Chains A and B, each alone.
Chain A
Amino acid sequence: MASLVVRRRRNPIAAEDYLAGWVFLLPALVIFVGFIFGPILYSFWLSFHDWNVVTPEMPFVALDNYRNLVGNDDFHVALRNTMWYSAGVVPTQTAVGLVLAVLANRKIRGRTFFRTAFYFPSISSSVVISIIFLWLYANNGLINFVLRTLGFPTPRPPWLHNPRGVIQMALDAFGIHDVSPWLAGPSVALLSIMLMNIWTTAGTMMVIFLAGLQDIHGDVYEAAAVDGATRWRMFRDITVPLLRPVTLFVVTLGLIGTLQVFDQIFVMTEGGPAKTTMTLAWLVYVEGFRKFSMGYASAIAVVLFAITLGLFLVHRKFLGQSEER
């Protein structure tokens, strides 16, 4: 904060600042209170009630909604799918983003071109990308076409219609069948959406990592090079630790994004096949806007929020430690 020149007229200015501070903040505050803070509280409140939208009665049911959640099959399925989704996408898109950034950070020609190309998918509408990939993943679409021409088998049912767990499929090859659903892995359909997600966001992560890399002064590397450190050593001992805050940011972004994935499900699979692409966010939508159990849907939303917050705090603890230089 800029230090004001100390003058005798300080008090009126401070007073004006006080008022002006709030005035400037007012429009944003109104919108935030009305459309964010308010709804957060309302969501909590609604989760303790039962409301089907059609009738005005809203009986208080305390923890019933949460109790139903715990026993509900659909909730377990959605939880499972969401966990697989995040666990698969976040590390991958972080790693891919980092690798791409490292590669693109050298003095290579066409850096702007690469940056533009990689970043483009992430600015496109998620609906557009979902539609395009619907076509790519179709049985007579591009992906199967390429696979078949190269002699590879294609999944039957085709990608987005295939509910078999990928880990289960791998285990089948070893003769291990019928593992518990929790270990069967994401379905082929869910995996298809995950791959699409990584394709979309790797570019953003790359751009963020690039910015972080560029903030590291070249002298650090030069000094290490003088000492004879290898490239790999430099990467491991200089780059990675210095990138910790950036990595934290990227992982946070990834967590928030993957835990909320909705648009793609709506356009591509609507929770199917066999509910294997039903995520928590999708379940909230279905329970709230198709089955009209608003209280129950709010409870699921609250749980989702809690998971997001929890994961953020946990990984922040692990990654956010080395703030000291």
Chain B
Amino acid sequence: MASARPVTERPTAVRRVAERGLDVVFRVVAYVVLIAVALAMFVPFVFSLATSLKTNVEANRLTWATMLWPANPTLDAYRTLTGTPIERWFFNSVFVAAIWIIGRAMIDSMAGYSFARMRFPGRDLLFLAVVSTLMVPPIVLIIPKYILLKNWNMLDSYLALTVPFLADAFGIFLMKQFFKSIPAELEDAARIDGASRYRMFAEIVLPNAMPAVAALAIFSFQGSWSAFLEPLIYISRQEYFTLPLGLAYFRRAYYTDWPVVMAIAVVTTAPLAVFFIIFQRWFVEGVRRSGIKG
């Protein structure tokens, strides 16, 4: 039990009233702070959206009135975008995200299941090794990975954007925690009926793991959509850019044209935002389910 130090005096009536007053004050303060912080979180995004709807001239001359919404909204910046490869980049991001999700859903859940349910020598040590890779900064690995992909001729292709990422330590950890948290009765029952591990996994375990798989899918989508460092190193041909690479390129090419740069930022963020608002419960749930106490 927690070590709450016992207070020797009994609370007086005055004290109780004071406490209640403090309570109200605290509540008000809490609301104010939370609202202020929430605003601070939103303002940059709103500002970027507003900028994307302004003309270049208006964007550069800020006033209090037009700070968060233009006087005459225009889609000029977006029209400029249509002349760029952005549609291709968008497709690339979607395609790569799909591969990540499908790949990780299968590979991570299989691995997680293996760690959770099956006994084999070296299992725990291997799991520890897998999880400890979370500590390795990606920059440490890009040089060898670059050389590897170069030797196998996989640079400048979808392979470089997908294959190295089809399994990830966090996903495996997530699935293992989940599998451990569900009782094994169904599997035991299937065992009695003579089912093999493979059948059990396909027919019973995976279908019941949908909540965890959903959380995994969400994290994978977010990870692939925002990935930057490794695509930057592995891809140099513009037709294989994903949206973040395209955005970074635009920062150099259109650096004077803030509305256009903001427009592509909006295009990159919008799908994620929509996705997040719909599934935000799962995002947070996924964090919770990842078993932080572990």
Contacts and interface: CB of A to CB of B under 8 A. Distances in A.
Co-assembled chains A and B: yes
Interface of A: 1-2, 4-5, 13-14, 16-18, 20-25, 27-29, 31-32, 34-40, 42-43, 46, 99-100, 103-104, 106, 108, 112-121, 123-129, 131-136, 140-142, 145, 149, 199, 202-204, 207-208, 211-212, 215, 220, 223-224, 227-231, 233-234, 237-238, 241-242, 245-246, 249, 252, 256, 259-260, 262-263, 266-267, 281, 284-285, 288-289, 294, 297-298, 301-302, 304-305, 308-309, 312, 325
B82 to A, nearest CB: 19
**Chain B contact residues: helix, strand, loop or mixed:** helix
Given A46-B144, A125-B269, A256-B134, A132 B45 contact: yes
Most A C-beta atoms less than 10 A away, residue of B33, B34, B146, B280: B34
B37 interface: yes
A284 B142 CA distance: 10
Nearest to A105: B30
Given A106-B30, A263-B229, A298 B114 contact: no
8 A-B pairs with the lowest CB-CB distances in the bound complex, closest first: A2-B184, A39-B144, A21-B118, A125-B226, A28-B111, A24-B114, A42-B144, A20-B197
29 contacts: A2-B183, A2-B185, A21-B114, A24-B113, A25-B115, A28-B111, A35-B163, A42-B144, A112-B281, A115-B284, A120-B276, A123-B222, A123-B226, A124-B226, A125-B225, A125-B226, A135-B258, A142-B47, A142-B62, A228-B7, A229-B4, A245-B292, A256-B135, A266-B232, A285-B142, A294-B143, A297-B143, A308-B136, A308-B137
**Chain A contact residues: helix, strand, loop or mixed:** helix
Contacts of B94: none
B64 A149 contact: yes
A114 B276 contact: no
Contacts of B75: none
B188 A4 contact: yes
A196 B106 CA distance: 36
Interface string B253-289: 0000010011001001100110011001101100110
Given A123-B272, A124-B226, A267-B251, A208 B111 contact: no
B248 A123 contact: no
A142 B37 CA distance: 17
A28 B110 contact: yes
Interface string B225-246: 1101100110000000001100
B201 A24 contact: yes
B55 interface: no
B38 A28 contact: no
